[in-house]
Amino acid sequence: MISLLPHLMAFAAPLFLLQGTPDSPVLSAENRAAVRCSAAFAIVAGEQQRGAMQDYPPLGWRGREYMVRTGAALIDAGWSKEQVAGAMRDAAAGLQAQAVQEGDADGVLAAVMPPCLSLLDARVEPLIEPNLAQCAAILRMSYEEVHNTEGLSNRAKDLLTLTTVLESRARRELAQQGRTQGEADAVLAVEAKSVAETAQAPGGVQRYDIGTCFQLAKPEEKTHY
């Protein structure tokens, strides 16, 4: 069974590194739903990092942003950071207790997530859908990061292959639009700069829908890498 509380603490650690849980004010129904959804997003995001729960939309950045905004709204309403952290922990513990009682953590999340995703869409902007050139830049950045720590590992080789494929397809697409090789180089450079700037902003490259990049890098029909 999924252990829910550790996911929340890992997800929220940069936000609420606080000990102690003073008595908190009573949550309104709206705030109770927002806090519960924050906990659910933390759980799903943690599972997605492990390769599970891929049927849900990526929640690494959007789920954390929802939690941040929920916490900020409570603080604006007079809550302390300690009280917000306690409310988040209580929500995760409540989901955990329900999962234990029902013996079905996945089922508990399946019931909670649809209304929570509606709240997420209403509060947090969607991920950026990257184009071919942006995907090439994102995966090259990922390759360089992995290569710097692992050398030419299998993971680095896979990322380099995908980067090369995306760069080639981006150049082909630009050529079909009538761009010269020099113009294509310029477009790729501009998109790489845009991705690098986004990577420095809150959320970093997690603000892109990275799944789109892997879809764009799939082998074309009757071809192979």
Per the DSSP assignment, residues forming a β-bridge with 208 are 128
* 21 vs 165, more confident: 165
Least trusted range by pLDDT, from 52-61, 63-72, 89-98? 89-98
pLDDT, residue 12, reads 52
Rounded CA separation 57/49 (Å)? 12
Residue 114 has pLDDT above 50, yes or no: yes
Quickly state the pLDDT bin for 10 (edges 50, 70, 90): low
Rounded CA-CA distance 159/153 in Å is 10
- Is the confidence at residue 64, as pLDDT, over 70? yes
Sign for the CA dihedral angle at 89, 91, 93, 96 comes to: negative
Supply the pLDDT for residue 139.
96
Provide the pLDDT for residue 222.
65
How far apart, in whole angstroms, are the C-alpha atoms of residue 16 and residue 86?
Answer: 9
- 49 band by pLDDT with thresholds 50, 70 and 90: confident
Q: Quick check: 162 pLDDT over 50? A: yes
The residue-averaged pLDDT of 73-102 equals: 88
Predicted model pTM: 0.78
Give the per-residue pLDDT at 145: 94
Question: Cα–Cα distance between 219 and 187 in angstroms, integer?
Answer: 24
Measured CA to CA in angstroms, residue 53 lies from 46, 183, 213 at distances of 9, 41, 19
Mean pLDDT (whole number) for 197-205: 89
Q: What is the pLDDT of residue 76?
A: 93
**DSSP H helical ranges for the chain:** 4-12, 29-49, 60-76, 81-102, 105-123, 132-150, 154-176, 181-200, 210-216
DSSP 180: -
Give the model's confidence band at 212: pLDDT under 50 very low, under 70 low, under 90 confident, else very high.
very high
- Phi then psi dihedrals of residue 208, to 5 deg: -90, 150
Give one word for 7, left, alpha or beta, with left for phi > 0 and alpha for psi -120 to 50: alpha
Classify burial at 174, counting beta carbons within 10 Å of its beta carbon; exposed 0-12, middle 13-18, buried 19 or more.
buried
Is the predicted pLDDT of residue 81 greater than 80, yes or no?
yes
| 21 or 52, which is more confident | 52
In 3D space, the residue among 44, 43, 206, 200 whose CA is nearest the CA of residue 124 turns out to be: 206
